[in-house]
Amino acid sequence: MEYKKSDVLKQYPISIEQLDNFLYTNSFVAEDGILNEIAYQYIIEFFGTNNYHKNATYENNKQSAHPEVSKLSFISNDKRIAIEQEDVITFLQKQPDNSVDIIITDPAYSGMNQMLKLGRGKIIGKYVDKGDGQKWFDEFHDTEENYEIFLKECLRVLKPNRHIYLMFDSYSLLTLGQVVRKIFDVKNIVVWDKMNIGLGHYFRRRHELIMFASKGKRPLNSKDIPDIWRIKRITSFKYPTQKPTEIFELMLAGSAEKDFVVCDPFLGSGSSVIASIKYGCKFIGCDIAATSIELSSSRVKAFLETKKDILQNKFMCEDDQTMKKILSKND
């Protein structure tokens, strides 16, 4: 079935820019103004909620809105991979001090993209509606205060002399990037060049940003990795914000050692887990969305058994010889 962008604009009090930002953030393509069913469902979930239209704050973070709902989890047989359905702050608070070797994560900043200002943030994910207008789970509101709570937890769980990689879009970098500088030693910003033009009214976007920072001192594993990563975006995806595994593989190429404990508390489709397995690392992570845990669990199980990635069957750096060389070192 086909859904038109123009119908969405009639249905919801949003501008074309907000809709295009939403589509871009979630890597949806609307050729000739036509949306596919998955994109349409996500639009309804996001713009159709009352939460979208009102200010909201992320308060205690400790409890889900409906703790009686049993949460999903997955632990591999060898116990090297553990993922669970949980709120980011609650999950990090459960981890001991100095227990993680590297954080590689891609938080949901869509509220920032939607509203282009702080205080009305809402995170994209597949939140299941309980049916009475309530959401099953609390949502992460990306105010500076909440982001600082998140970063302080990252700092606490990270061992000394270790690295953190935080993905950003341009807007969130401008508002939240300075918060990272208060907590971590920011070393550089890497550009992910998606190689194909996306949506956007004021220069069509084809990049995202990755902030690279450290707790203490630690050199990169290699001096040969450039700060522009040319990696094609995933176009046929099962999870709307699915990133190519190569992004996380390059982070690990820069900073990981075998058996390092990698942490990603905004797991999504589990691309960071696949990268961690390829690099011989252990992994802990969470996502608030049940769909994320379902999908990433089956992806990880299949990868451990067959070495085949069921969500990404192509190498996304084919055209970039430098990247190819760095990544092939791990084959």
Work out which of 20, 84, 101, 106 binds ligand SAM, going by CB under 6 A: 106
In the complex with ligand SAM, the residue whose CB is nearer, 135 or 215, is: 135
Shortest Cβ 159–ligand SAM spacing (Å): 22
Nearest to 149 by CA among 114, 182, 187, 105: 182
Work out which of 21, 143, 271, 312 binds ligand SAM, going by CB under 6 A: 271
Burial class from Cβ neighbours inside 10 Å (0-12, 13-18, 19+) for residue 218 reads middle
211: left (phi over 0), alpha (psi -120 to 50) or beta: beta
Shortest Cβ 276–ligand SAM spacing (Å): 12
In the complex with ligand SAM, the residue whose CB is nearer, 3 or 91, is: 91
Cα-flanking dihedrals φ and ψ of residue 283, to 5°?
-145, 135
Work out which of 46, 47, 140, 171 binds ligand SAM, going by CB under 6 A: 140
Work out which of 205, 243, 278, 282 binds ligand SAM, going by CB under 6 A: 243
Q: Are 93 and 153 in contact (CB under 8 A)?
A: yes
Position 242 contacts ligand SAM (CB under 6 A) = yes
For 287, the token pair is 């996502």
Q: Which residue has the tokens 């949980």?
A: 86
Shortest Cβ 165–ligand SAM spacing (Å): 11
Shortest Cβ 124–ligand SAM spacing (Å): 7
Spatial separation of the C-alpha atoms in residues 185 and 46, rounded to whole Å:
35
Shortest Cβ 234–ligand SAM spacing (Å): 8
Q: Are 233 and 245 in contact (CB under 8 A)?
A: no
For 131, the token pair is 């049916």
Q: Are 254 and 225 in contact (CB under 8 A)?
A: yes
Find the part of the chain contacting ligand SAM (CB under 6 A) among 1-9, 152-160, 218-226, 268-276. 268-276
Nearest to 208 by CA among 289, 324, 322, 107: 107
Query: How many chain residues touch ligand SAM (CB under 6 A)?
Result: 22
Shortest Cβ 131–ligand SAM spacing (Å): 20
Interface with ligand SAM (CB under 6 A): 87-88, 106, 108, 123, 125, 139-140, 239, 241-243, 265-266, 268-269, 271, 286-289, 292
